[in-house]
Chain A
Amino acid sequence: MLAVGIAVLQQPGHVAEAADKLDCLTCHKYRGLSRVDEEGKFRLFYVNNELFQSGPHRRNNCRDCHTDIDRIPHNPAKAVDCLQQCHLVEPSGNVKFSHKSIAETLARSVHGKLDAQGQPKPHAEDYPRCKDCHEEPLYRPLSVFKGVVKHGVSERSISRCKSCHKSGNFAEDFYEHVTSRLHKTRFPLETIETCAKCHQDPEFRKRHKLDDVVTTYKHTFHGKLMLLGSERTPDCLDCHVVEGENTHLIEAKTVPTSATHKANLPNTCRASDCHARAGAMLAGYQTHVTYDRHKYPLEFYMLVFFKALMAFVLYFFLALIFLELMRRLFPKFAFFKDNVPHHAVEKPKNDKNKKKES
């Protein structure tokens, strides 16, 4: 029985051990594996292998990224440098893979640390590095069968790959790699939360003189439908990246090539999958309205009008209802009595009071 128990416990989940040639999980599988580092920060070293095996890095060995580990048990490892070359060969150019080109794109974007003259921008430490936006990524494979697109792996499709590509997990890896990129690799709400980490932080916004673009976005139909589960409405990247451009190339609206530059905005709204039939004037729609009196006067004064109307109407009637309920407790009391004969009809002049029933 013990043997059976051990056998069950050691069942590998999803051919996991491929990436774990060095048996790192011997220790890192324990959920409590942690320590307080030299700076007093609590660090957790647990590796959730099930999650790791669901992402694009699953074919890498631990040491492909954690290169400074040379013995077990090892010394504190350095932070991973995402820009290093790894042992995988990128098939289209047959060169070793690196995320360097992404970093170069990012450096050209509004999120780059250096300005056009190569000088660090003010508060350069606020600008994001890879891991500020990217957690360990996960695949989001799509299943397409008879015109129905769903989340997940289509066993029917993958079986067609596997009839030729038999060895290893090649078919699975390739399938997930490709279908995850046929749509957004992250759920749109996740993208918004990623941007919100900085752009919703009041201190950060004060330092960089930015409006709360995340909250204002959530007030639009785009944001609201997304909160209700839609993936069809745009997230931040859809409007701030030129259609077909690398998503890391977000540019300030003052840059002529930016998706949100005045001259390009009509085409951003009219991107092929969005408001394709719309006129150029759609770009005049203000997405990030803060109800600032000077910046958005129309919206501000309309809002004041409606809130005032609402307050007036509701306070008037709620006071009336309250007093009326109170009045019922003392129906006959009054400071002044007036004795009008009960059958006398009150009538202002000229009031004919016609009945109009059919």
Chain B
Amino acid sequence: MAKYDPIVVKDGKRYFHRFSVNQRIQHVVLFSSVLLLAMTGFPLRHAEESWAKPLYNLFGGHQYAPTVHRIAGSVLLVLFVYHTIYWMYLFYRDDIGKLRRENRLTFRNAVKAFFSQEMVPNKKDLLDIIHIWKYLLYFTNRPPRCERMSWREKFDYFAPYWGIPILGPAGMMLWWRDEVSHVLPGIVLNAAYIMHTDEALLAILFLFFVHWYNVHYAPEKFPAAKVWLTGYLSEDEMIHEHYNEYVKMMIENGLEEEIKPQHFGGEHYGW
């Protein structure tokens, strides 16, 4: 696979590498299938609302929309499996492989390596959450300095990673209800129905309010962040969201003299 420059300079501005092409494609597949699932699922959840029928008819109505929903759901489940394999591969390559080369591969070290992966929540995230509340309630003048993946991003990441294992199997049970009824009691379908419909609502509300605030509505992001397309984050965003990582990357790339001071959204965007 192609190597990416950790820092590129374009039009006199620095950009910091975040996501590989593979990860960006995974994100596109993820959001396309989730949006399609939402648009073919929520008209059913709220069938009595006036908008439900026109939206449902847009995807083929009661005849075809369920099939669209099932195809999108299958794509999402395949993505989930793919991502898990992808992540295990990276863990093996970067962590286990390294320990093995250095001949330090013990159970203890492997567990330690597992919990120090960039997406796994750790103690620093807990401290950052406490820190951001202190900052938001004016108890400190300095926002937290997040690592490569901030606690917010970990939350965004684990929302689907917890959501899909709940939504997926429940959806499959409702899909193959006749077959399921040979092995499981009917009340399981009641449970599957609640799991599917309520977890979907949580996922979509989280997506529309929280994730879209993080990447669309926030003043410095509006109308849309570009990192999902380019894979690179601008210096200002880096300072704002990942100051520790910013400092580290600057030092690693011999730019220690040019490290800018930490700031928070409002200071730097001229409003």
Residues of A bordering B, CB below 8 Å: 218, 221, 223-225, 227-230, 232, 275-286, 289, 298-299, 302-303, 306-307, 309-310, 313-314, 317-318, 320-321, 323-338, 340, 342-348, 350-358
In the complex, the answer to whether B187 meets A357 with C-beta atoms within 8 Å is no
In the complex, the answer to whether B177 meets A282 with C-beta atoms within 8 Å is yes
Q: Which residue of A lies closest to B269 (CB)?
A: A328
The answer to whether B11 has its CB under 8 Å from any CB of chain A is no
In the complex, the answer to whether B202 meets A309 with C-beta atoms within 8 Å is yes
The answer to whether B254 has its CB under 8 Å from any CB of chain A is no
In the complex, the answer to whether B47 meets A224 with C-beta atoms within 8 Å is yes
In the complex, the answer to whether A331 meets B118 with C-beta atoms within 8 Å is no
Instruction: Quote the shortest CB–CB distance from A93 to chain B (angstroms).
Output: 41
Q: Within the assembled complex, what's the spacing in Å between the Cα atoms of A281 and B181?
A: 5
Q: Which residue of B lies closest to A311 (CB)?
A: B202
The answer to whether B9 has its CB under 8 Å from any CB of chain A is no
Across-interface contacts of A346 in B (CB, < 8 A):
124, 145, 244
Q: Within the assembled complex, what's the spacing in Å between the Cα atoms of A275 and B1?
A: 50
The answer to whether B169 has its CB under 8 Å from any CB of chain A is no
In the complex, the answer to whether B244 meets A278 with C-beta atoms within 8 Å is no
Across-interface contacts of B14 in A (CB, < 8 A):
none
Q: Within the assembled complex, what's the spacing in Å between the Cα atoms of A277 and B177?
A: 10
In the complex, the answer to whether A218 meets B48 with C-beta atoms within 8 Å is yes
Encoded as 1 (CB less than 8 Å from any A CB) or 0, chain B from 159 to 187 comes to 00000000000000010011101111111
Across-interface contacts of A221 in B (CB, < 8 A):
44, 174, 193
Q: Which residue of B lies closest to A279 (CB)?
A: B182
Encoded as 1 (CB less than 8 Å from any A CB) or 0, chain B from 254 to 271 comes to 001001111111110001
The answer to whether B10 has its CB under 8 Å from any CB of chain A is no
Asked, given contacts A223-B47, A345-B145, whether A306 binds B122 with beta carbons under 8 Å apart, the answer is no
Tell me if B's interface is mostly helix, strand, loop or mixed.
helix
Q: Which residue of A lies closest to B211 (CB)?
A: A317
Across-interface contacts of B221 in A (CB, < 8 A):
none
Instruction: Quote the shortest CB–CB distance from B258 to chain A (angstroms).
Output: 10
Q: Within the assembled complex, what's the spacing in Å between the Cα atoms of A336 and B141?
A: 7
In the complex, the answer to whether B219 meets A328 with C-beta atoms within 8 Å is yes
Across-interface contacts of A343 in B (CB, < 8 A):
247, 256, 259
Q: A320-B133, A353-B147, A358-B1 are in contact. List 4 more A-B contacts (CB 8 A).
A: A229-B61, A306-B202, A334-B138, A351-B116
Q: Which residue of B lies closest to A283 (CB)?
A: B186
In the complex, the answer to whether B127 meets A345 with C-beta atoms within 8 Å is no
Asked, given contacts A221-B174, A357-B4, A358-B1, whether A333 binds B141 with beta carbons under 8 Å apart, the answer is yes
Across-interface contacts of B43 in A (CB, < 8 A):
228
Q: Within the assembled complex, what's the spacing in Å between the Cα atoms of A345 and B148?
A: 12
Across-interface contacts of B48 in A (CB, < 8 A):
218, 227
In the complex, the answer to whether B248 meets A353 with C-beta atoms within 8 Å is yes
Q: Within the assembled complex, what's the spacing in Å between the Cα atoms of A319 and B256?
A: 37
The answer to whether B70 has its CB under 8 Å from any CB of chain A is no
Q: Which residue of B lies closest to A218 (CB)?
A: B48
Q: Which of B145, B174, B178 counts the most chain A CB atoms within 10 A?
A: B178
The answer to whether B103 has its CB under 8 Å from any CB of chain A is no
In the complex, the answer to whether A327 meets B53 with C-beta atoms within 8 Å is no
In the complex, the answer to whether B118 meets A355 with C-beta atoms within 8 Å is yes
Asked, given contacts A328-B219, A338-B142, whether A289 binds B186 with beta carbons under 8 Å apart, the answer is no
Q: Which of B181, B198, B205, B206 counts the most chain A CB atoms within 10 A?
A: B181
Q: Which of B17, B90, B136, B248 is A320 in contact with, Cβ under 8 Å?
A: B136
In the complex, the answer to whether A298 meets B190 with C-beta atoms within 8 Å is yes
Encoded as 1 (CB less than 8 Å from any A CB) or 0, chain B from 12 to 40 comes to 00000100101000000000000000000
Instruction: Quote the shortest CB–CB distance from A281 to chain B (angstroms).
Output: 5
Q: Within the assembled complex, what's the spacing in Å between the Cα atoms of A307 and B205?
A: 12
The answer to whether B140 has its CB under 8 Å from any CB of chain A is yes
Cβ contacts A to B, 15 pairs, < 8 Å: A225-B44, A227-B53, A228-B47, A229-B53, A229-B61, A278-B178, A281-B182, A281-B185, A285-B186, A298-B190, A303-B198, A321-B210, A327-B138, A338-B142, A342-B259
Across-interface contacts of A284 in B (CB, < 8 A):
185-187
